[in-house]
Every structure is written in structure tokens, then in C-alpha cells.
Amino acid sequence: MSDTTEVNAATETQEAQTPQLSMQRVFLKDISFESPRSPMIFQEEWKPEVGLELNTKSRQVGESVYEIVLEITVTVKNSGQTGYLVQIQQGGLFVVSGLDEQQLHHALGAFCPATLFPYARENIDAIVVKGSFPALMLAPINFDALYLESLQKQQAETTQ
């Protein structure tokens, strides 16, 4: 009987240390669309210039539960003037446990935003089409590379 108790205790310890990362919920926190030159812009030849700004935020909202917000601003200009502007905050709740501090930082800064990006991209495309513009399918983003770039920038700033 004591052998069984020791095995169960060892199994529980291993499960507690096993890294876990799962998405609980995806939600649209905020979205806006502006087309300051409508309807005149529809009379012009459409040669869009797309600008993209990206930011992520994370915060702990419960035990092992984190809110990640992917913020994207898309500015599309035509002939040097704003054709439309889309701003979105795509949110998600993630359960994360069993990671060391470096792994947790990477998960919150790269993996979770990469998981949210397809949802944000779909919402951006849908609202652009509803604004009577051609579909806008944003290219995939390498969040791991952006995360590494951010780390290198932080390290460079601390060494100066």
C-alpha cells in the first residue's frame, strides 16, 4: 500500500512540473475602421500602400492564466492620402504553467501572439471588405523573430 502512495506522489509531482500552455478563449477587445475619404476614394485608381504597426501586451489575470492582447494598426494610403485605417485589439486567455521565467516570457511574447494573429487577420479582412475595399490578407508574421529582435534591443539599451 505504501508503494502505491509513493508512486502516486511521484506522478503528481511530474504532472505539476510538466509544461502546459493552452488557449482558453479568443475575444475581440476593440476594433475600429475609418475611411476618411469615402466615397470619393472609390472614383480613384486603387494603388494601395500598406503600413502595419504591431504591439503586444500581456498580464496575469489569475493563477497560471494570462491575458494577451495583440494590437495591430493598418494604414492604407492611396496617392499619398489615407484610404482607410483599421485598429484592432485581438485578445486571448492562455493557461500557462510549468515554464521557467525565460520560457514564460517567450510564450507570452511570441507563441501566444502568433496564435492570436490569424484571428486578428480575419477580423481585419472582414471589416475592410465591409468598408467596400478589396480584401486585405496580411502576410504571416514571424513572432519568434520579432521577439528575438525585441530582446536584442533591450539588451543593447541596458549595456549603454
Note the pLDDT tens digit of each residue in 30-69.
999 999 999 999 999 999 999 999 999 999 999 999 999 9
Q: Which domains does the chain have, with CATH numbers?
A: 20-137 (3.10.420.10)
Q: Taking all residues of the chain, what is their mean pLDDT, rounded to a whole number?
A: 91
| Cis omega (within 30 of 0) for bond into 118 | no
Distance of alpha carbon 4 from its chain centroid, rounded? Answer: 45
The stretch 135-143 carries a mean pLDDT of 95
Residue 99 has pLDDT above 70, yes or no: yes
Q: On the CB side of 145, how many CA atoms lie within 13 Å of its CA?
A: 3
The stretch 96-113 carries a mean pLDDT of 96
Residue 136 has pLDDT above 60, yes or no: yes
Residue 117 has what pLDDT? 98
Q: Which pLDDT tens digit goes with each residue over 149-158?
A: 999 998 888 8
Q: SS3 of 141, please?
A: coil
Residue 159 has what pLDDT? 83
Tell whether the torsion through CA atoms of 34, 26, 105 and 59 is positive or negative: positive
Specify the pTM: 0.85
